[in-house]
C-alpha cells in the first residue's frame, strides 16, 4: 500500500540520502511544507517568513517498511533539542517538524517522541513539533537528489554545518537496517569485516576509466589510474584519491582499511619492499565510469583523467 510521510529536518539536502536506500521507498522529493499552526494574530510578514519549512516528502510501500521505522531513522538525522533551526542553518524555515497525514501517523510520532525523551539520550528537552500535514510543494529540480548530483559539495556542506559530528556523537550507528538494502555479500564485507572470494568479484580486473566510491556514503576512494594488475584476485591500488577518506585500523597481524565517513570495512593495507598497497573488496565499492562522473555529481574529479 502506498503511503506518504513528510519530514522537516533543516536543510532538505541532508534529509534525502538516509532514506533513499531503504527497501520500499518509492520516491523522495525535496520541497516546502506549510506550517498552519502560525498564529492568526501574526503579521503578514511574519506569516510569510514562518509559514513554510524545508522538508522532504517520502512515498513508500507500507508492505515493505513501516512508518515507525521511518520515524526511527528521522530522529537520527536531526537535533531534536533545537527549536530555532538545525545546525548552521538558522531561522524558522529550518525547524524540525514531523507532519502527520492521519491519526495513525500522529500516534506513532507522539509515541516515538515519548520514547526518545525517556531514553535520556539528550540532556536538553526534545522540542521537535508534531503537526498535521497541510500542503507541500516541490523545490526546483536542481535541488532534488542533491547528494547525488553534487556529492563533493554535499559532503563538505554536511560536515561544515556540524550535522555530521553531532549525529556521530549522539547516534552511534545502528546498522541493522543495512541488511535490507545490501546483498548478503555486501553486508558481510562492509559490516562484518569479511572478505569476498577472489577472481570472481566485480572489479578485480576492471579496465574501464573511472573512480570507486564507498558503496553506502559515496565517498570518493580510488581511481582506476591507480589500480594495479592484481595477482591476488581483489582490486589493488597504489594510493587513494584522498588519503583523508581512508582510515587505517590496526588489526591482528594486519592493518584494516575503512572509509572515514561511513566507517565501512574496505580491505587491507599491504606492505611490500617498503611500498604500501590498498587491497579492497569489490563488494565495498561502487564504480562510476568517467563518462558518468558529471551526471552523478562527481564533476570535480574529471580533472584526474
CATH number assigned to the domain covering 182-304? 2.170.150.20
- Residue 295: all three cell numbers together: 551526471
- Residue (of 224, 190, 220) closest to 205 by Cα position: 224
Q: How far apart are CA 259 and CA 264, in angstroms?
A: 5
Residue 46 scores a pLDDT above 60: no
Question: In the predicted model, what is the mean pLDDT of the chain?
Answer: 90
Give the pLDDT confidence score for residue 153 in this predicted structure. 86
If one compares 57 and 272, the residue with the highest pLDDT of the two is: 57
Catalytic residue IDs: 11
- The dihedrals phi and psi of 212, each to the nearest 5 degrees, come to -110, 135
Q: What is the CATH number of domain 2-179?
A: 3.30.1060.10
Where exactly does CATH 3.30.1060.10 map onto the chain?
A: 2-179
Q: 68-77, 152-161, 192-201: lowest mean pLDDT where?
A: 152-161
pLDDT digits (tens, 9 = 90+) for 134-177: 999 999 999 999 988 888 888 889 989 999 889 888 887 667 77
What is the model's pTM?
Answer: 0.63
CATH 2.170.150.20 in the chain, residues? Answer: 182-304
User: Is residue 80 within 8 Å of residue 128, measured between CB atoms?
Assistant: yes
Q: The cell 529536518 sits on which residue?
A: 9
Is residue 143 classed exposed, middle or buried when 0-12, 13-18 and 19+ CB atoms within 10 A define those classes?
middle
* Separation of alpha carbons 203 and 71, rounded Å: 37
> Does the structure show a pLDDT above 90 at 8?
yes
Asked which of 39-43, 55-59, 296-300 is least confident by mean pLDDT, the reply is 39-43
The DSSP letter of residue 107 is H
43 pLDDT tier (thresholds 50, 70, 90): very low
First CA to last CA distance, the chain: 46
CA distance 15 to 9: 7
Whether the per-residue pLDDT at 96 is higher than 50: the answer is yes
Of 58 and 151, the structure prediction assigns the larger pLDDT to: 58
More confident residue, 51 or 86: 86
Reply yes or no on whether the pLDDT at 259 is more than 70: yes
Per-residue pLDDT band for 240 (boundaries 50, 70, 90) equals very high
Amino acid at each position: 500500500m502506498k503511503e506518504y510521510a513528510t519530514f522537516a529536518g533543516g536543510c532538505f539536502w541532508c534529509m534525502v540520502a538516509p532514506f533513499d536506500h531503504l527497501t520500499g521507498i518509492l520516491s523522495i522529493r525535496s520541497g516546502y511544507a506549510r506550517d498552519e499552526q502560525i498564529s492568526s494574530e501574526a503579521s503578514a510578514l511574519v506569516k510569510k517568513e514562518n509559514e513554510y519549512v524545508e522538508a522532504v516528502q517520502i512515498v513508500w510501500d507500507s508492505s515493505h517498511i513501516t512508518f515507525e521505522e521511518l520515524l526511527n531513522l528521522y530522529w537520527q538525522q536531526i537535533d531534536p533539542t533545537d527549536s530555532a533551526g538545525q545546525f548552521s542553518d538558522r531561522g524558522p524555515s529550518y525547524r524540525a517538524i514531523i507532519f502527520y497525514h492521519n491519526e495513525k501517523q500522529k500516534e506513532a510520532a507522539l509515541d516515538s517522541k515519548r520514547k526518545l525523551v525517556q531514553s535520556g539520550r539528550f540532556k536538553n528537552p526534545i522540542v521537535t513539533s508534531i503537526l498535521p500535514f497541510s500542503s507541500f510543494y516541490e523545490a526546483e529540480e536542481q535541488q532534488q537528489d542533491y547528494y547525488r548530483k553534487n556529492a563533493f559539495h554535499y559532503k563538505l556542506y554536511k560536515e561544515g554545518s556540524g550535522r555530521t559530528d553531532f549525529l556521530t556523537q549522539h547516534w552511534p550507528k545502528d546498522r541493522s537496517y543495512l541488511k535490507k538494502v545490501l546483498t548478503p555479500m555486501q553486508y558481510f564485507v562492509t559490516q562484518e569485516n569479511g572478505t569476498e572470494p577472489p577472481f570472481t568479484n566485480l572489479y578485480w580486473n576492471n579496465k574501464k576509466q573511472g573512480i570507486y566510491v564507498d558503496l553506502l556514503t559515496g565517498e570518493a576512494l580510488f581511481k582506476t589510474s591507480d589500480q594495479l594488475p592484481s595477482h591476488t584476485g581483489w582490486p589493488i591500488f597504489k594510493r587513494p584519491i584522498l588519503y583523508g577518506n581512508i582510515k587505517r585500523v590496526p588489526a591482528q597481524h594486519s592493518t584494516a582499511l575503512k572509509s572515514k565517513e561511513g566507517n565501512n570495512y574496505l580491505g587491507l593495507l599491504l606492505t611490500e619492499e617498503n611500498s604500501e598497497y590498498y587491497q579492497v573488496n569489490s563488494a565495498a565499492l561502487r564504480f562510476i565510469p568517467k563518462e558518468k562522473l558529471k551526471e552523478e555529481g562527481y564533476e570535480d574529479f574529471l580533472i584526474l583523467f
